[in-house]
Amino acid sequence: QVQLVESGGGLVQAGGSLRLSCTTSGRTISGYHMGWFRQAPGKDREFVAAMSRSGSTVNYADSVKGRFTISRDNAKNTVYLQMNSLKPEDTAVYYCAASTGYYGSNYSIYNYWGQGTQVTVSS
């Protein structure tokens, strides 16, 4: 069983930055593809970014490309999401997820989820 815990959310002004962290317990993350998703009030959960278990492949949603960066430190069992140039429309609960098998942007392939961390961007 993999337990994921997100941290780093908060309130920031438009144009600011935040770095989210996702740490694991119970298993090393090196064996998992990792992803970040977000869900705004009244909206479906949407893909933000993903990184393959090797770290060689990354993908981003068009809405965050060029502003967000996903990275991982397997030695620390931690995945990061660096978010720059934040916009009010980035306001959402951000979730970290781990996939044991497939890699991609579809939330259904992820087996484990964190509890989420709130990111609020004020205009």
Phi, psi torsion values for 40, nearest 5 degrees: -90, 155
The radius of gyration of the chain from alpha carbons, rounded to an integer in Å, stands at 13
The per-residue pLDDT for range 81-117, each reduced to its tens digit, is: 999 999 999 999 999 999 999 999 999 999 999 999 9
Between the two ends of the chain, the Cα-to-Cα distance in Å is: 40
* Helices and strands per DSSP (H, E), number in the chain: 0, 11
Backbone φ, ψ for residue 30 (5° rounding): -60, -20
Please give the average per-residue pLDDT across 18-31, as a whole number: 90
pLDDT digits (tens, 9 = 90+) for 43-79: 999 999 999 999 999 999 999 999 999 999 989 999 9
pLDDT at 26 over 90: no
Is 35:105 a contact under the CB 8 Å cutoff? Answer: yes
What is the distance between the alpha carbons of residues 116 and 118, in angstroms, rounded to a whole number? 7
When comparing pLDDT for 26 and 34, which is higher? 34
Mean pLDDT of 10-38: 94
The pLDDT assigned to 55 comes to 92
State the sign of the Cα–Cα–Cα–Cα dihedral 38, 115, 18, 15: positive
The pLDDT value recorded for residue 42 is 94
Q: What is the pLDDT of residue 2?
A: 85
Q: CA angle, corner 98, sides to 83 and 2, nearest 5?
A: 120
